[in-house]
Amino acid sequence: MQKKLLTLAVAGALGAPGAALAQSSVEVYGTINMSFGNVKWGASSAGAPSLAKWDVASHASNWGVRGRESIGGGMTAWFQIETNTPMERSGNIAITPASRNSAVGIQGDFGNVFIGQWTSPWADLDSLWAIGTVGGWGPVTSIIGRRETTGTSPNANCINNPVSGGAVNNGTATSQGPCDALEGGGGVGHAFWRRLSNAAFYQSPVINGLQAKVAYQTNEGRSVTNATLASVVSNASLWSVSLQWTGMGGNARVGMGYDRHSDFTTVGRADTGMTVKGGYNFGVVDLGLAWEQMTYRTASGDCKGGNYGVALAFPVATGTIRGSYSVANDLNDPGCGAAGAAIAPAGSQVGNNGATEFNLGYEHRFSKRTQLGFGYATIRNDDKGAHNWTGLPPNQGGAANAPAMGSSISTWFVNMVHRF
């Protein structure tokens, strides 16, 4: 009854006749995922002191509108518009319509074809293994995929994509904003966990548990002229593909993914990545495993980053004990150093820059829609590491959310999730 009322409200908001909506399926939905707890920032390698504070965190809370309509021939037209709902610190986090998975498509015996903004086939594989997290304090929001940023790809005309001598490619420091948040902050490479925008997607039908997914993020930022370097041609685009299988009554699952990001780190070169993720539910315990390796192509050579993780879930009556452990290996290749890549300032990503992440908690299910949990999570950064979870409060400086280099983080928390 509640969803019917919400549907009528949406019909009024959109100005659509109720009779037209009645012929299709339109639904308002969402997830509220909130934590309350104590977060401690450890002393950094540069001398920033330790600091503990209380915080309310929102873990990808969202709401959206989605609908489906049969259009004949066994085909269904569908749409989804999903919006980020921070639920806290709204002054620091923009609430932008369609900021999450939002697209329009057609589905049939041939599979599912759609365009818009959506998580990549690489990122979709996380559902096969990431069963060890309570709330948002886990490896998928910190280590696996190196979740530095989402959104459109960088290109040679971005203000944060400098060239030899420190000049900005577009010749001005104000005419264009950053295209990639991590490069804007001076790191090497970019996230392989990403929500692709300006993209086209295809998902095959599931045949004997096997499904293929392909996504192409267009080269919207392509440029053939440049104010500073007329010879620079940017053609930034992205391909992401995956193949996954689920069988043995749904207990076994495994997937492989491959990404190719052209002109992301260096014009004329493509960053690549491979990943294998999966798991098996033994009944008494559900096991998840993840491995991935990304290669960023800098002007002076390759820079390889590898991550791996394990997740466990133990059912206990009407609840589950969940835990994860993950590792981000150091970036030590020649292309990772400040001398080898203009996007890496001195000392920022050279050498001892990895991290380990551990979390453990209990989650109690009151119903299919509501659950309450509590737990502990920590990230141990190396001297030059700066890994963190999405949604952390500001660090010791009171402004930035990313930790000071070498500062480890820990949190005790209670969490509540409600779906509607």
Q: What percent of the chain has pLDDT over 90?
A: 50
Contacts of 231 (CB under 8 A, 6+ apart): none
- At 230, the pLDDT band (50, 70, 90 cuts) reads low
Question: How confident is the model over 241-277, as pLDDT tens digits?
Answer: 999 999 999 899 999 999 998 887 777 888 899 999 9
Contacts of 221 (CB under 8 A, 6+ apart): 152, 153, 154, 155, 157, 179, 234, 236
Q: What is the rounded distance in angstroms from the CA atom of residue 384 to the CA atom of residue 187?
A: 12
- Domain limits, the chain: 2-419
Q: In the prediction, which pLDDT does 225 show?
A: 60
Class of domain 2-419: mainly beta
Q: What is the rounded distance in angstroms from the CA atom of residue 388 to the CA atom of residue 294?
A: 19
Q: Model-level pTM greater than 0.95?
A: no
Q: In the prediction, which pLDDT does 195 show?
A: 86
DSSP structural state of residue 225: -
* Residue predicted with more confidence, 45 or 8: 45
CA atoms within 13 A on the CB side of 341: 30
Q: In the prediction, which pLDDT does 174 show?
A: 40
DSSP assignment of 130-162 = ----STT-SGGGTTTT-----SSPP-TT-TT-B
**Closest to 4 (Cα-Cα) out of 20, 34, 25:** 25
Q: In the prediction, which pLDDT does 337 show?
A: 58
Question: How confident is the model over 290-340, as pLDDT tens digits?
Answer: 999 988 887 777 888 889 999 999 999 999 999 999 998 887 676 665 433
Q: In the prediction, which pLDDT does 92 show?
A: 53
Q: In the prediction, which pLDDT does 351 show?
A: 63
Query: Residues for the chain: how many in total?
Result: 420
Q: What is the mean pLDDT of the chain?
A: 80
The answer, yes or no, to whether residue 187 has pLDDT greater than 50, is no
Q: What is the rounded distance in angstroms from the CA atom of residue 37 to the CA atom of residue 387?
A: 19
- The answer to which of 80-84, 187-191, 372-376 has the lowest mean pLDDT is 187-191
243-to-63, 89, 246 alpha-carbon distances in Å? 29, 38, 11
CA atoms within 13 A on the CB side of 285: 8
